[in-house]
């Protein structure tokens, strides 16, 4: 057996050229070494490892799960104008920190900051690489070594084991828990504010909801109290809904947005700083955005950590293009809002074409995902392909090029066209026919 083993070079040449030469050689060497140890087939081993490497590299996938902001699938898909902007800036040099008017050094995010000011009504804005970084920077720059009261009902944990108390501790901020899990009154904050208090922090629980015997102080109430007691008021609204009225949606804001705070409204309520994400309900690339009082934003910019959490020029270009849509009154064209607002008639026609002779179209729910709008269910047409063979079909669709991510439930396979680009319908229908035929 050993004398029939291929050379490393020969085996590496058999592997997909889409993988770098360095990786192909490493796969081949490891496969041959294992074959020497246990007599297994090095070609089979190498093919398996090469597929594993290919699956791990970043790639486009088709999201047929119905989860609009699927964290595992990159959250919000970008509008084509944002994609073009990223490509143009990333494909060459850009005016990242250059004032084209006089050739001097400029603010790398000046255009984006100015747009955010106009869209939110805040005095100033700062963009960092994610929302957690925005909160971290705000606390580190303005509250280090001092106390920050937070409601016990808002001590959140989100994906990746991110816990608010641990982030606050990392900034040197002293957390003061107030109220109870289900009830926090304004006087609970008032009772703990003293000379050691730097700011009051209110965190929107964007990935869970409490109902029943529940009380919380409003943004307006906390803002008034903070001004009266001479401390800052920070509001982490998380999901990044620019305006609670959602003027970009036909007919205005749908009912499922009624409990989601709008950035503009929280600024108007009197928050000194408001933090939110760029890749959730805003529908842009991953970023953290802080808007608020200019004197405080200036202190954030001057903090040493600001450079550590800044965005690349490509991200800023994509964010600028996304904000342009809102500024033009075309926020409804952002893919997230297009998907959320798709009509029953259009979705059913698309689902029927994909189901063809292999499944049926039923009514089921799409969800927001991405740690936003917990409990949201948007009912619409979904393709149901009954078992048996569901697991095999699910795996085959996942092995498709590009991979097609679906969902399984109670032995059946489900494909939700709401989260599929209409331009991908033909490919999806062909893939379904192949795995079901």
Binning pLDDT at 50, 70 and 90, where does residue 28 land?
very high
Binning pLDDT at 50, 70 and 90, where does residue 153 land?
very high
pLDDT of residue 44 exceeding 70? yes
Three-class DSSP labels, 144-196: CCCEEEEEHHHCCEEHHHEEHHHHHHHCCCEEEEECCCCECCHHHHHHHCCCC
Confidence (pLDDT) at 132: 94
List the beta bridge partners of residue 384: 360, 414
Mean pLDDT of 397-410: 94
pLDDT of residue 1 exceeding 70? no
pLDDT in tens, 228-285: 999 999 999 989 999 999 999 988 888 888 889 999 999 999 999 999 999 999 999 9
Confidence (pLDDT) at 2: 54
62-74+337-436 — its CATH code? Answer: 3.90.1150.180
Rounded mean pLDDT of the chain? 93
Mean pLDDT of 59-78: 92
80-333 — its CATH code? Answer: 3.40.640.10
Domain ranges of the chain: 22-57, 62-74+337-436, 80-333
Question: What angle (nearest 5°) sits at the alpha carbon of residue 32, between those of residues 29 and 34?
Answer: 110
Give the predicted TM-score (pTM) of the model.
0.92
Binning pLDDT at 50, 70 and 90, where does residue 319 land?
very high
Name the residue with higher pLDDT: 30 or 213.
30
Neighbour tally for 163: CB within 10 Å: 13
Contact 193, 146 (CB under 8 A): no
Closest residue by Cα to residue 376 from 250, 254, 280, 275? 254
Mean pLDDT of 395-423: 94
Binning pLDDT at 50, 70 and 90, where does residue 344 land?
very high
Binning pLDDT at 50, 70 and 90, where does residue 218 land?
very high
């Amino acid at each position: 057996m050993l004398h029939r083993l291929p050379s490393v070079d020969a085996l590496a040449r058999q592997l997909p050229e889409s993988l770098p030469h360095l990786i192909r050689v490493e796969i081949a060497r490891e496969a041959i070494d294992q074959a020497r140890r246990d007599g297994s087939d090095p070609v089979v081993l190498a093919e398996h490892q090469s597929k594993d490497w290919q699956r791990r590299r970043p790639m486009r996938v088709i999201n047929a799960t119905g989860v609009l902001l699927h964290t595992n699938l990159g959250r919000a898909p970008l509008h084509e104008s944002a994609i073009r902007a990223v490509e143009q800036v990333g494909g060459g040099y850009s005016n990242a920190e250059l004032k084209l008017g006089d050739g001097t050094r400029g603010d790398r995010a000046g255009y984006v900051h100015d747009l955010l000011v106009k869209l939110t009504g805040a005095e100033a804005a700062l963009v960092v690489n994610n929302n957690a970084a925005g909160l971290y920077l705000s606390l580190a720059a303005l509250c280090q070594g001092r106390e920050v009261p937070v409601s016990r009902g808002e001590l959140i944990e989100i994906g990746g084991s991110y816990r608010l108390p641990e982030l606050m501790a990392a900034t040197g901020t002293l957390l003061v828990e107030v109220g109870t899990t289900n009830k926090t009154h304004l006087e609970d904050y008032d009772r703990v504010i003293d000379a050691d208090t730097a700011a009051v922090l209110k965190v929107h629980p964007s990935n869970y909801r409490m109902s029943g015997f529940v009380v919380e102080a409003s943004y307006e109430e906390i803002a008034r109290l903070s001004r009266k007691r001479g401390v800052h008021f920070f509001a982490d609204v998380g999901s990044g809904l620019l305006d609670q009225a959602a003027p970009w949606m036909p007919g205005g804001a749908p009912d499922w947005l009624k409990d989601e705070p709008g950035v503009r409204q929280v600024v108007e309520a009197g928050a000194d700083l408001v933090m939110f994400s760029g890749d959730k309900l805003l529908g842009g690339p991953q970023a953290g955005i802080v808007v608020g009082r200019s004197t405080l934003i200036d202190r954030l910019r001057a903090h040493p950590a600001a450079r550590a959490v800044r965005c690349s020029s490509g991200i800023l270009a994509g964010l600028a293009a996304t904000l342009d849509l809102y500024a033009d009154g075309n926020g409804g064209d952002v893919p997230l809002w297009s998907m959320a607002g798709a009509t029953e008639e259009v979705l059913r026609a698309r689902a029927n074409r994909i189901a063809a002779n292999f499944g049926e179209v039923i009514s089921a729910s799409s969800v927001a995902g991405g740690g936003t709008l917990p409990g949201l269910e948007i009912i619409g047409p979904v393709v149901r392909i009954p078992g048996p063979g569901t697991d095999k079909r699910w795996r085959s669709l996942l092995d498709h090029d590009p991979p097609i991510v679906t969902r399984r439930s109670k032995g059946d396979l489900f494909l939700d066209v709401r989260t599929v680009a209409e331009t991908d319908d033909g490919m999806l229908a062909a893939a379904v026919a192949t795995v079901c035929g």
